[in-house]
């Protein structure tokens, strides 16, 4: 993983720990950004690459668990790995139930940290790819004409061309033309592809 393709964000008020994590991650080619607290993280301009967040459970002013909830409320979907001392294991379990992907008990082994970070970044890369794909799919749907959308919605709901034509007050051949045009614009090779796309767009829900 190169620095250009992935990044790790660390929120911990222990400067020495942050420096150690920074050194370790950079030694394997990962960009690392450290923040003393949640507000500094939120104020930063985050690189739009596959990333994860290493979050200390016990922070000054706001617990890591509370901040995790705030991240969700703000729509920041970075995978979270919580870091905790031995006494904070119950809180870490709560963090996992709240959506954290892993937790590390201090002091943790370098390899355990690298393994957790690698898995979290892979997860975020998949999330970003899915989001980009959905954005592209939505853009293609938005480019359809009103009639093409209507025909797409009806045929993906299971109506035959003849039934869709009757519903829209069109001829069957006209519906076939709109359907073919919609499939071309949506880049659907088959009706099954179009049905799957409609499902991902929430059409017919």
Q: What is the CATH number for 164?
A: 1.10.10.10
pLDDT given at position 97: 77
| Host domain of residue 192 | 143-201
Average pLDDT over residues 182-191: 96
Contact (CB, 8 A) for 148 and 184 = no
Q: Which two tokens stand for residue 170?
A: 């069109």
**Position 132 pLDDT exceeds 70:** yes
User: Are 151 and 130 members of one domain?
Assistant: no
Whether 3 shows a pLDDT value over 60: the answer reads: no
Answer whether 0.75 is exceeded by the pTM. Answer: yes
What is the reported pLDDT for 2? 42
Looking at every residue in the chain, the average pLDDT score rounds to 91
Q: Which residues pair with 80 in a beta bridge?
A: 53
> Which one, of 145, 132, 150, lies nearest residue 204 by Cα?
150
pLDDT in tens, 77-125: 899 999 987 666 777 778 777 788 998 988 899 999 999 999 999 999 9
CATH of residue 40 = 3.40.50.2300
Q: What does the pLDDT look like over 5-23, one tens digit per residue?
A: 799 999 998 899 999 999 9
Neighbouring C-alpha atoms within 13 Å toward the C-beta of 151: 25
DSSP state of 62: S
Count of domains for the chain: 2
Q: Based on the domain organization, do 89 and 69 belong to the same domain?
A: yes
Instruction: List the Cα angle 11/77/42 in 5-degree steps.
Output: 40
Identify the residue whose tokens are 């390899």.
111
Mean pLDDT for 50-57 is 93
pLDDT for position 1: 41
Q: Do 128 and 184 fall into the same domain?
A: no
* CA distance linking residue 49 with residue 159, whole number of Å: 42
Residue 171 lies in a domain: yes
Which residue, of 87, 113, 134, is where some domain finishes?
Answer: 134
């Amino acid at each position: 993983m190169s620095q250009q393709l992935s990044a790790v964000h660390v929120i911990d008020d222990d400067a020495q720990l942050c420096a150690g994590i920074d050194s370790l991650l950079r030694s394997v080619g990962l960009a690392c950004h450290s923040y003393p607290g949640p507000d500094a993280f939120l104020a930063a301009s985050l690189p739009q690459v596959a990333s994860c967040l290493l979050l200390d459970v016990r922070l000054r002013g706001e617990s890591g668990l509370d901040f995790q909830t705030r991240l969700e409320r703000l729509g920041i979907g970075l995978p979270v790995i919580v870091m905790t001392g031995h006494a904070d294991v119950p809180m870490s379990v709560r963090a996992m139930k709240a959506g954290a992907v892993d937790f590390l008990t201090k002091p943790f082994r370098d390899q355990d940290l690298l393994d957790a970070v690698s898995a979290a970044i892979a997860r975020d890369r998949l999330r970003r790819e899915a989001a980009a794909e959905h954005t592209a799919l939505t853009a293609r749907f938005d480019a359809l004409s009103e009639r093409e959308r209507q025909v797409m919605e009806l045929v993906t709901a299971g109506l035959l061309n003849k039934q869709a034509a009757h519903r829209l007050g069109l001829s069957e051949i006209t519906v076939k033309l709109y359907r073919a045009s919609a499939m071309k614009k949506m880049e659907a090779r088959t009706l099954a592809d179009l049905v799957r796309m409609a499902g991902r767009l929430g059409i017919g829900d």
